[in-house]
A and B are shown apart, each in its own frame.
Chain A
Amino acid sequence: MRTLNRRLDGANVLLTVLCTILVVSVIGASVLMNSVTRYNTASSQVRGWKESLYAAESGGDVAYAEVRKTILDPTNAFSGWTYSGGVHTKSALTFGQDNLTTGASVDVFYYDTNGSPWYRIRSKGTAPVLGLKRVTMDDRMGPVTRGDSLLRKIDFNYDHFIATYGPNGDGTGKALVPVSAPQITRRIELVAAPITPFEAAIKCVGTFYGLGDAAMIDSYSSANGAYYFCANNPSDPHFSDSRSGNVEIDSAVASIRGMLYGNVATNGGTIVRSSQITGTIDNNVPFTLPPFKLPTTFGLPQSSPTKVTGNTTITPPAAGTAQTPIFYLLSSFTGNLTVQPFGTSPTYVDLHVTNDITGTVDVAQNVRLRIFFDGNITMKARDMVNESGNAANLQFYGISPTDPNATQSINISPPGNFAATFYAPSANFTLNGNPDITGAIVCKTFYGNGNTSWHYDRKLDTEGDAVDYRIVSYVEDIR
C-alpha cells in the first residue's frame, strides 16, 4: 500500500499571509478613513470658515472705500452700485483663486449734530467648501451638544440663513434657496463714523518739534464752563476732562517737550514714558490726513465785501445755520475784519479767502466764523480775537494745493494769545513765542519753541464737518 503524498503545506502559508495582510489593511483603512474625514475638516471646512470671513471683510472694505468717497471724491461715490429705499447695494462679486464671493449694502442710520451721516455697512462673504459632503465625526460633543457644526454652519444643500432668518436676517422673505455646492457664508456689520477735524490738541503727519521745556498741554470741556487747571487734582469734578491734551504724529521724527496731560502717538517714533507725559504712549499708530478740498455745499456768496484791505465789518443779512452758513468770497485779506452777529441770534458765517491772510480778525460774541483759505497765513497771536473764548467759534481751514508737492505755511508770532482751531493738512505750522492757546491744530509739520500753555477743548471732537470716515463698530451675525 502506498500512502498518498500531499503537498498542500504551501497554501497554508499563503492563507496566513493573506489573512495578516487583510487584518492590517482593515486596521489601516479604518484609520485612514477617520483621518481623511478629519483632514477633510481641517483642510476644507476650517479653511472655508476662515476664508468666508476674509471675503466678508473684503466686502466691508469695498463698501468703506465708497463711504470715504462721499467726502474725498463725491462725484464717484457709490458709482456702479444700485440705490433703492435708502440703501446702496453692491451685487455679489467673485474674486481670488479660491472663488470667494462677497456683496455689501450701505445705508445711513444716523446724522450727528454737525449733520454728518453715519453709515451702516452690511457685508457677507461666501467660500466654497471642497471635499466630502458631510459634517465631521467630531461633531457630537454630548447627547444634545454639537461640536464643529455649531460653530461652522455649512450650507450643504440650502442656504440655512435665508431659510431660517430671511435674506436680511429679520425674519422676512424666508425661502429655501439651493446652493450649487457646499459653502460657508459669514455676515458682518460695520459702522463708519465721520472723523471730525479736531480730535487731538495737535495732529500732524510730518515732523514734530515742541513745545518749550516749560510748556504745558492739557484739556477741558467748554460744556462745563470756562477753562481752569485741574489736571493735577483727581478729586476735581472735571478732572476726567483735563487729561486729553493728546498729540498724534504720523512720523518717527518727533521731539516732545514740556508737560503733556494726555496721550502721545507716533508712527515708528521712540517716545518713552516719562513723568512729563501722563497718558499712554503708542509708537505704532500710523494714520493719514487726506488733502482738504473746498466744500461743495457753499451757496452763492454775498455781494460784499469781496476783499478786506482796510477796516471792514461784516454784519450778515441773516443768522444762517451750522449747515447753511452765510457765505462770503474774499480775494484779499490784508486788513482788519470784524464779524458781528445777526441781531441776537447765533450767527454762522463762512469766508473763502483765495489768497494769503495777513490781516486781523475779530469775531464777536454769538458768531461762529469759518475761514477757508487757499494761500498762507502770517499773523500775530493777538490779531485773532475770539470774543467768546470758544475755539470752535474761529476755525481756519487750509485748502490743499492741487500740486501735491506744494506746501502751505502758517506762521503765528508773538505777542498775544488766541482761541481758534486750524485744520490744514498741507501746511507747515510754526508757532513762536509763549501764547496761551485754547484750541487744536491739524497740520503737515509742526514747530513750536515757546513755553506755551495749550488747552484742548474736548467739545471740539464733535465740531466741524467730517474730513474722512473710520470704522468704529464691528459685529458679526453668528447665526
Chain B
Amino acid sequence: MKLQTSRRLAGFTLGETLVTLSLSSIILGAAITSGVSLQKSFNAVDNYFSTHIQQIRIIDYLNRDVQRGLVVTTSVDLQTVTMTVPNYIIQAGDPEAVTNPALVGTPRTPTVSYTTSGLQVNYGTTTTNVVYSISGNAILRTENGTVTTIASSTDQLVPTTTDVELTNTEYTASAVTFMPIFVSAGSVAERTGTSVYETAYLRNKRRG
C-alpha cells in the first residue's frame, strides 16, 4: 500500500517555528510588561487619589479649627500647630456639669467680661487646646490630650503651616504635600507638585 502524500499535512519548518516562537515571545513579553506597567500605573493613580483625599481631609480639619480658634501658634519647623478654641459644649467634669449633670452635652450660654484688651465673649472659664502634629506616617489631632489620627499614609504626608498675626486677627497658610510612588524629576520637585494650599482666617478677635 502506498501512502498518499498530502502537502496540506506538512509541518512547519524549523525556521518557521523559530521565527514564530521568537515573535510569540516578544509579543507575550510585551503583553506581560504592559500589563505589569498598567497595573503599576493604576496602582499609583489609585494611591495618589487616596492620599490626595487625605490631604483634603487635613486641610478641612485645620480650616475648621482655625476659623473657630481664639489664637494659633506654629512651631519653628511649621509642622506642629497649636490652637485654642472656645469650650462651646459642656463636658462631664466641667463646673456647670458638677452642679447640674443634665447640662452635659449642651451648648454653653456665652458670657461677657471686661479685659485689658476690651470686652470679650467667653464660653466657660476654660478653653480647649488643639494640637496638630506628625507622628511617623500619621497626622495626629490632639484635643485636650485625646489623640485622633486624621490621616495616615506611607506616602510621607507633610503638612506645614505658617501663622501671620495682624492687628486684631491672624491667618494661617497651610500646605500639605506627599511623595507619590512615581518619581521622575527628583524628589523635591515631585513633592512640591502634590501641594494643596489653604488660607484660613480666625473668625474671632485674636487673643494673646
Task: Check A282–B166 contact: CB distance below 8 A.
Answer: yes
How many Å lie between the Cα of A136 and that of B152 in the bound state? 15
- Contact with B57, one of A24, A151, A170 (Cβ below 8 angstroms): A151
A31-B46, A169-B107 given; A138·B53 CB < 8 A: yes
Quick one: which of B89, B107, B111 has the most chain A CB within 10 A? Answer: B107
Q: Is A152 engaged at the interface, CB distance under 8 Å to the other chain?
A: yes
Binding-face segment, A76-84, A139-147, A155-163, A206-214 = A139-147
**Which chain B residues lie closer than 8 Å to A462 at the CB level?**
114, 119
Contact A118 B167 (CB under 8 A): no
Q: How far is the CA of A28 from the CA of B43 in the complex (A)?
A: 10
A472 contacts B205, CB within 8 Å? yes
Interface Cβ pair total, 8 Å cutoff: 128
| B88 contacts the other chain (CB 8 A) | yes
- The answer to whether A145 and B56 have CB atoms under 8 Å apart is no
Beta-carbon contacts of B16-51 to A below 8 Å, as 1s and 0s? 000000000000000100010011001101100110
The DSSP consensus for interface residues of chain B is mixed
Specify the chain B residue showing the minimal Cβ separation from A111.
Answer: B112
B53 A42 Cβ-Cβ under 8 A: yes
Q: Is A49 an interface residue (CB 8 A)?
A: yes
> Which has the most chain A C-beta neighbours within 10 Å: B86, B112, B123?
B112
Instruction: Evaluate contact between B205 and A170: CB separation under 8 angstroms.
Output: no
Over the window 109-122 of chain B, the binary record of Cβ atoms lying under 8 Å from chain A Cβ atoms (1 yes, 0 no) is 11110101011010
User: Is B54 on the interface with A (CB-CB < 8 A)?
Assistant: yes
Q: Is the CB of B46 within 8 A of A475?
A: no
- Contact between chains at A476 and B112 (CB < 8 Å): no
Instruction: Flag whether B148 is at the interface (Cβ < 8 A).
Output: yes
Residue B150 at the chain A interface, CB threshold 8 Å: yes
Tell whether, in the assembled complex, residue B204 and residue A141 are in contact, meaning their CB atoms are under 8 Å apart. Answer: no
B119–A265 contact, CB under 8 A? no
Interface residues of A in 169-205 (CB under 8 A from B): 169-171, 189, 191, 193
Cβ of A331 under 8 Å from chain B: no
Give the contacting residue for A41; candidates B8, B46, B53; CB below 8 A: B53
Q: A46-B56, A475-B88 are in contact. Are A193 and B149 (CB under 8 A)?
A: no
Whether A8 sits at the interface, judged by CB under 8 Å, is no
A145–B4 CA distance with the chains assembled, in angstroms: 80
Count chain B residues whose beta carbon lies closer than 8 angstroms to a beta carbon of A.
53
Question: Quick one: CB contact mask for A31-69 with B, threshold 8 Å, 1 for yes?
Answer: 100110011011000100110000000000000000000
Among A333-378, those with CB < 8 Å from B are none
Q: Tell me if A120 counts as interface (CB < 8 A to partner B).
A: yes
> How far does the Cβ of B146 sit from chain A's closest Cβ, in whole Å?
12
Seed contacts A31-B45, A112-B119, A476-B67; 18 additional CB < 8 Å A-B pairs: A2-B4, A2-B6, A24-B38, A35-B45, A110-B110, A120-B110, A138-B50, A138-B57, A147-B54, A147-B57, A147-B150, A193-B119, A461-B118, A474-B204, A475-B68, A476-B68, A477-B88, A478-B64
Q: Which residue of A lies closest to B28 (CB)?
A: A16
Q: How far is the CA of A107 from the CA of B24 in the complex (A)?
A: 81
Point out the residues of chain A lying under 8 angstroms from B107, CB to CB.
169-170, 189, 477
Question: Across the two chains, which residue of chain A brings its CB closest to B56?
Answer: A46
Q: A472-B205, A475-B88 are in contact. Are A263 and B152 (CB under 8 A)?
A: no
CB pair B118–A3 under 8 Å, yes or no, is no
Contact (Cβ within 8 A) A165 B60: no
B89, A109: Cβ atoms closer than 8 Å? no
Contact for B106 among A3, A142, A169, A263, CB less than 8 A: A169
Residue from the list B56, B68, B111 in contact with A110, Cβ < 8 A? B111
Determine whether B9 belongs to the interface, using a CB cutoff of 8 Å to chain A.
yes
Which residue from chain B places its CB closest to the CB of A172 in the assembled complex? B106
B9 and A3 form a contact (CB under 8 A): yes
Of B64, B110, B151, B166, which is within 8 A of A476 by CB?
B64
Q: Does B193 contact A (CB under 8 A)?
A: no
Q: A residues touching B (Cβ–Cβ < 8 Å)?
A: 1-3, 5, 20, 23-24, 27-28, 31, 34-35, 38-39, 41-42, 46, 49-50, 109-110, 112, 118, 120, 136, 138, 141-142, 145, 147-148, 150-152, 165, 169-171, 189, 191, 193, 240-241, 263, 265, 280, 282, 285, 461-462, 471-479
Residues of A within 8 A of B45 (CB): 31, 35
Given contacts A35-B49, A473-B204, contact A141 B110 (CB under 8 A): no
Q: B105, A165: Cβ atoms under 8 Å?
A: yes
Measured between beta carbons, the chain A residues less than 8 angstroms from B6 are 2-3
Given contacts A3-B9, A138-B54, A282-B167, contact A479 B111 (CB under 8 A): no
Interface CB pairs A-B, < 8 A, 18: A3-B6, A5-B8, A24-B35, A27-B42, A31-B45, A35-B45, A110-B112, A112-B119, A120-B109, A138-B50, A141-B152, A169-B107, A282-B166, A462-B119, A476-B67, A477-B89, A477-B107, A478-B64
For residue B182, which residues in chain A have a CB less than 8 angstroms away from its CB? none
- B67/A474 in contact, CB under 8 A: yes
Taking the closest CB of chain B, its distance from the CB of A89, in whole angstroms, is 17
Name the 8 nearest CB pairs between A and B, nearest first.
Answer: A474-B203, A473-B121, A31-B42, A170-B106, A282-B167, A475-B88, A38-B49, A280-B167
Contacts of A151 in B (CB 8 A): 57, 60-61, 64, 150
Residues of B within 8 A of A147 (CB): 54, 57, 150-151
Is there contact, CB below 8 Å, between A285 and B110? no
**Contact flag A34-B46 (CB < 8 Å), given A5-B9, A240-B116:** yes
Q: What residues of B have a CB within 8 angstroms of the CB of A478 in the complex?
A: 64
Residue from A28, A141, A169 with most neighbouring chain B CB atoms (10 Å): A141
Cross-chain contact of A171 among B39, B106, B119 (Cβ < 8 A): B106
Contacts of A282 in B (CB 8 A): 166-167
In the complex, what's the smallest C-beta–C-beta distance from A224 to chain B, in angstroms? 12
The CB with the most chain A CB atoms within 10 A, among B61, B67, B110, is that of B110
| B residues near A24, Cβ cutoff 8 Å | 35, 38
B163 to chain A, nearest CB (A): 16
Give Cα distance in the complex from A2 to B5, angstroms. Answer: 9
A138-B50, A151-B150 are contacts. A475–B123 as well, Cβ < 8 Å? yes
Alpha-carbon distance A5/B204, docked complex (angstroms): 89
Rounded to whole Å, the gap between the CB of B77 and the closest CB of chain A is: 24
Give the contacting residue for B167; candidates A120, A138, A165, A263; CB below 8 A: A263
**Inter-chain contacts of B203 with A (CB < 8 A):** 471, 474
Determine which residue in B31, B53, B111 has the highest number of CB atoms from chain A within 10 A of its CB, and name it.
Answer: B53
